[in-house]
Amino acid sequence: MKTSRGTQFLLAAGLLLALFVGAGISSPRMVAALLAMAGTDAERFLTWPLFTMGDLPVTPIFLLKVFLFVLVLSLAARLLRHSLQHRVLPHTSMEPGQQYALARFTSYVFFVLGLIIGLQSLGLHLESLVVVGGALGIGIGLGLQGVVSNFVAGLILLVERPIKLGDRIEVENTYGDVVRIAGRSTWVRTDDNVVIIVPNSEFINHRVTNWTANDRQVRFNLSLGVSYGSNPEEVRDTLIEVARNNPDVLADPAPEVLFTEFGESSLNFVLRAWTITKVQSPRRFRSDLYFAIFRAFRERGIQIPFPQRDLHLKSSQVPLVMAGQTEAEQP
């Protein structure tokens, strides 16, 4: 299992805490002797109240306990999420996107509930958090709106699931596959294998195109034009044959050709083809079809025109004056 730096830090901190607790259990006299060596000044510093929250004095030893508790709780939440996503949920009938969302949401709920219960067990009642809530509100008003907005948007994405892991999306000129939905941002991998990190609020406040929201079946439209001397029925049959010969084009729904308009210099058609396998590489899919269409048109003598203009010159009796000539020298 590949772990991130945050997980490695939590594992190291948890190991140190376990070693300290183990030493205290196995050799309580040695630990007591080490603490006695520190003297009463250390004890006075650790128990000195920095400030109070309600009736609870907040001391350095209390902050240390809170820090260690949050550290262990974060580690437990990550381990829970990893176990659910990679060991428990894969054995169910849920889709990978649903497994990812459920594992994330469960870890968030576990962390919040554990934090509330743990703080109460340490002596910090919820009524005392009113001051913290007011300070947090001031912080949000001063510049944390974006962070909170993205986090709330991430929860909405995990609950409502307008986008899922593996979906093909397009948002604000960003086109790619969803590879990760985190608390603050979503990772989108483009066709160039470049990961673009998009804030979660972008998916809530802007219009998002989800190509695979219903299923992986997508239709592509290819526009093209032929010369006016071409037979429209032959063009239609050629395009359908090219589409059917492509292994990535679905037979059901069958490809179809629409005669869209009489253009200025061409008869315009649209080839509609459905695919499942080429959803992740639409440019490659279009390129393959265009190559095959060009080859088939050349074999059957169907011309692809280019814009042409006819220029008509009319005779006139208007005299033509050359530069540097006088009226007497004019013809």
CB-based contact 48:59 (threshold 8 Å): yes
Q: What span, in angstroms and rounded, lies between the C-alpha atoms of 217 and 277? A: 8
Question: Which residue type, as a one-letter code, is found at position 95?
Answer: E
Query: Is the pLDDT score of 320 beyond 60?
Result: no
**pLDDT tens-digit profile of 134-181?**
656 665 555 567 777 888 888 888 778 888 888 888 887 788 899 888
Burial 314-327 (b: 16+ CB within 10 A, else e): eeeeeeeeeeeeee
pLDDT of residue 37: 53
Residues whose CB is less than 8 angstroms from the CB of residue 150 and which lie 6 or more positions away in sequence, other chains included: 183, 184, 185, 199, 200, 201
User: Using alpha carbons only, how large is the chain's radius of gyration in Å?
Assistant: 35
What pLDDT is attached to residue 224?
93
Banded pLDDT at 46 (limits 50, 70, 90): low
Q: Which of 263, 271, 272 is nearest to 227 (CA)?
A: 263
Q: How far apart are CA 195 and CA 192, in angstroms?
A: 9
- Predicted local distance difference test score (pLDDT) of residue 165: 84
Q: Whole-prediction pTM value?
A: 0.56
> 3-class SS at 174?
strand
Element (H, E) at 249: none
Q: pLDDT above 90 covers what percent of the chain?
A: 24
pLDDT tens digit string along 82-128? 888 888 888 887 777 678 778 888 888 888 888 888 877 777 666 65
DSSP state for residue 192 in the 8-state scheme: T
Residue 11 has a CB neighbour count (10 Å cut-off) of: 14
- Residue 278 pLDDT level (bands cut at 50, 70, 90): confident
DSSP symbol at 319: P
Strand partners, 274: 219
Tokens standing for 70? Answer: 């949050």
Window from 115-119, 202-206, 240-244, 311-315 with minimum mean pLDDT:
311-315
Given this model, what pLDDT does residue 315 score? 64
278 closest CA partner among 216, 228, 202? 216
- Indicate if the alpha-carbon torsion angle 120, 77, 94, 187 is positive or negative: positive
> With 0-12 CB in 10 A as exposed, 13-18 as middle and 19+ as buried, what is 101?
buried
pLDDT, position 52? 67
User: Chain-centre distance of CA 228, in angstroms?
Assistant: 46
Q: What is the pLDDT of residues 173-199, one digit of tens each?
A: 788 899 888 878 899 998 888 999 999
Nearest by Cα to 98 from 111, 108, 84? 84
Per-residue tokens: 52: 């109070």
